[in-house]
């Protein structure tokens, strides 16, 4: 399958709070990584598509840190900045104007940081 590898739980790939959590509960970090690997290989989505889908989920859930993380990961997986922002816009009719514009700002901030 064309899925991605699981979460890299070290090396700046996740927020510091998560790193501290995994330092305290390493078995949970290992379980999360294993689940991410299993989900990534469970179907035909490539890494870029997978990250854009995860970005959309984060928009719908209103998760700032995760929105920024998956915007960055989508870029790393080959998405263009325009594709990242277009993925965010897909939430407009489903989750509403305010939530989408808020997520658009988070993603835009992350894209600026990556530029």
Q: Dump pLDDT digits (tens) for 60-95.
A: 999 999 999 999 999 999 999 999 999 999 999 999
With 0-12 / 13-18 / 19 or more C-beta atoms within 10 angstroms meaning exposed / middle / buried, residue 79 is buried
Residue 13 has pLDDT above 70, yes or no: no
Across 15-19, 56-60, 87-91, 106-110, least confident range: 15-19
Residue 2 pLDDT class (50, 70, 90 cuts): very low
pTM of the entire predicted model: 0.82
The 10 Å Cβ neighbour count of residue 109 is 14
CA distance 26 to 84: 32
The pLDDT assigned to 86 comes to 98
CA distance 84 to 86: 5
Residue 5 has pLDDT above 90, yes or no: no
Closest CA to 38 of 6, 9, 14, 10: 6
Q: Which residue has 């330092």 as its token pair?
A: 23
What would the mean pLDDT of 27-31 be, rounded to a whole number? 94
Closest CA to 67 of 79, 85, 80: 85
CA distance 112 to 115: 5
pLDDT above 90 covers a percentage of the chain that reads: 76
Contacts with 110 (C-beta within 8 Å, 6 or more apart), sequence order: 67, 68, 71, 72
**Is pLDDT larger for residue 18 or for residue 1?**
18
And the tokens for 50?
């997978």
């Amino acid at each position: 399958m064309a899925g991605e590898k699981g979460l890299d739980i070290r090396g700046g790939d996740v927020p510091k709070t998560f790193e501290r959590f995994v330092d305290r509960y390493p078995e949970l970090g290992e379980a999360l990584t294993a689940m991410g690997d299993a989900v990534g290989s469970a179907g035909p989505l490539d890494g870029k598509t997978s990250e854009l889908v995860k970005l959309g989920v984060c928009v719908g859930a209103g998760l700032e840190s995760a929105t920024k993380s998956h915007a960055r990961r989508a870029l790393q997986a080959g998405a263009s900045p325009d594709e990242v922002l277009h993925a965010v816009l897909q939430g407009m009719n489903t989750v509403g104007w305010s939530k989408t514009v808020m997520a658009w700002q988070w993603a835009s901030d992350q894209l600026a940081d990556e530029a």
